[in-house]
Amino acid sequence: MDIQLHDKQFTPFISAEEIDFALTNIAKQIEDDFADETPVFVGVLNGAFMVVSDLLKKYNSPCEVSFIKLASYEGTTSTSNVKQIIGLNQNLEGRTVIVVEDIVDTGSTLEELKNLFKLQNVKHFKIATLFLKPDAYKKDIKLDYVGIRIPDKFIVGYGLDYDGLGRNLSEVYQLKD
Ligand code: IMP
Ligand code: MG
């Protein structure tokens, strides 16, 4: 069933089951690569809160979790100036860091993150994202773990919002045109 958030209509796009399946795969891949490393998962707030929670429940080896908060979006278009709002207060030197994103769109947020982590002397810096919009992605930073590739259209739900609304939806909806 379609839903309305603020002034816009959204239609069901990705089910909770598909999300669950994608997260199971990501967790498995990371575990294959880093089970003996005690990685630090760094969730990018606000959007990644559900991804981190569900992903880590599927990750069955020792790990730590932390969060960082950034902003790049106003309304339904990505703005290119990304600002750090809340930084990490943990020493990550020599650690394996896995940044967890809800979605990678233009990649500006990731670029900013990569620059932030460059200064931290981490051992491995990896990126996991539930969603990727390949047609919008403009950077050449390697995305290590990608859940679901989607068209370059605005989505909400499962942590993602439209001007604050929709984050609590357990399925993902796409903007209707
Ligand atoms: P980027 O910096 O352009 O890659 O955008 C990344 C951030 O913008 C994500 O972490 C989201 O918070 C937000 N974003 C990108 N695409 C969407 C979307 O389709 N719906 C809601 N938020 C989005
Ligand atoms: Mg985000």
Q: Whose CA is nearest to atom 8 of ligand 1?
A: 73
The residue annotated as part of the active site, out of 32, 33, 36, 105, is: 105
What is the pTM (predicted TM-score) of this model? 0.93
pLDDT at 117: 82
pLDDT at 69: 87
Pick the CATH number of 10-175 from 3.30.450.20, 3.40.640.10, 3.40.1500.10, 3.40.50.2020: 3.40.50.2020
Q: Cα(74) to centroid of ligand 2, in Å?
A: 12
Question: Which tens digit of pLDDT belongs to each residue from 21-47?
Answer: 999 999 999 999 999 999 999 999 999
The residues placing their C-beta within 5 Å of ligand 2, an ion, are 47
Q: Where are the domains of the chain?
A: 10-175
The closest-lying atom of ligand 1 relative to the alpha carbon of residue 47 is 12
Write out the two tokens for 9: 């209509």
Residues of the chain scoring pLDDT < 50 = 72
pLDDT at 86: 63
